Amino acid sequence: MQAHSINPKVATLLFDIDGTLLISQRAGGRAIDTVFEQVFGRPRSIELRLHGRTDRGILTELFEAEGRQLSDQDFDYFISSYLRELERNLQQQPATVLPGVTELLPWLSEHPGVALGLLTGNVRQGARTKLKHTGLDHYFSFGGYGDRHAQRDDVAREAAAAAQAHLEQRYCPASVVVIGDTVHDITCGRAIGAKTMAVLTGGIAEAELAAAQPDWICPDLRAGFSILQHLLG
Ligand SMILES: [Mg+2]
């Protein structure tokens, strides 16, 4: 028997979290604001741009606006406080799982030709916290996160490397799909040669996402589910 029939290649689906799998009433953004005020003793002076960005990138920008370079020590301190605030915010105001997700993920996780990973700007523990609160954490066994990288393209590379390490010979670089709600998700997917699926559940205008030319664009993951069922059989 040939090796490929013992270890068939699988499709790797890499999911963004915020605006794609769930929405959390700015639980993360509010946590950042709370910790920022604890650290700097005043509210931030610049706009907090969260969509499609990484936690490392967001904090780097916030610290730079205060004339400070973000050290690893600053980052670790900030994130440990952030995780406590995030947990508290999610307990007070639970996150909402977006349409289609509770049908799609069980189906995909039962599919022998599919591996499920994360591609998120959240720090690893922040991602776990959000997914645990919504009962989705057990679906994902690898991913790329926003702990180390300020640029989402680098997070995509981390996610692809994690998929390869997890799947070994079953990893197929030509069968990777990145699913997310922002232009950054589409561009970072393209940076690793993946197909891209954009969803409109994160509040980004369809025209803006369409201009980035994803392979598929869906109102939500109910429609995404139909496309993936056709694609994967
Ligand atoms: Mg998102």
- Segment 102-158, tens digit of pLDDT: 999 999 999 999 999 999 999 999 999 999 999 999 999 999 999 999 999 999 999
Listed as own residue / partner, the contacts of 212-220 with beta carbons closer than 8 Å and 24 or more positions apart are 212/183, 212/186, 212/187, 213/186, 214/186, 214/189, 215/177, 220/98, 220/99, 220/100
Alpha helix (H) ranges present in the chain? 3-6, 27-40, 55-65, 72-92, 101-110, 124-133, 152-167, 183-191, 206-211, 221-232
Q: Kindly give the distance from the C-alpha atom of residue 149 to the centroid of ligand 1, in angstroms, as a whole number.
A: 16
| CB under 5 Å of ion ligand 1: residues | 16, 18-19, 181
Separation of CA 218 and ligand 1 centre (Å): 14
For residue 4, how far is its CA from the centre of ligand 1 (angstroms)? Answer: 35
Q: How far is the CA of 200 from the centre of ligand 1 (A)?
A: 10
Would you list the domain boundaries of the chain? 3-24+96-232, 27-92
Tell me the pLDDT band of 8, cut-offs 50, 70 and 90.
confident
pTM: 0.95
pLDDT in tens, 176-197: 999 999 999 999 999 999 999 9
Averaged pLDDT score across all residues of the chain: 95
Q: Answer whether CATH 3.40.50.1000 is correct for domain 3-24+96-232.
A: yes
Cα three-residue angle 73-74-77, rounded to 5 degrees:
85
- Buried (b) or exposed (e) across 150-164, using 16+ Cβ within 10 A? bbbebbbbbbbebbb
Q: How far is the CA of 17 from the centre of ligand 1 (A)?
A: 6
CA of 21 to the centre of ligand 1 (A): 8
Strand 216-218 to 195-199 pairing: parallel
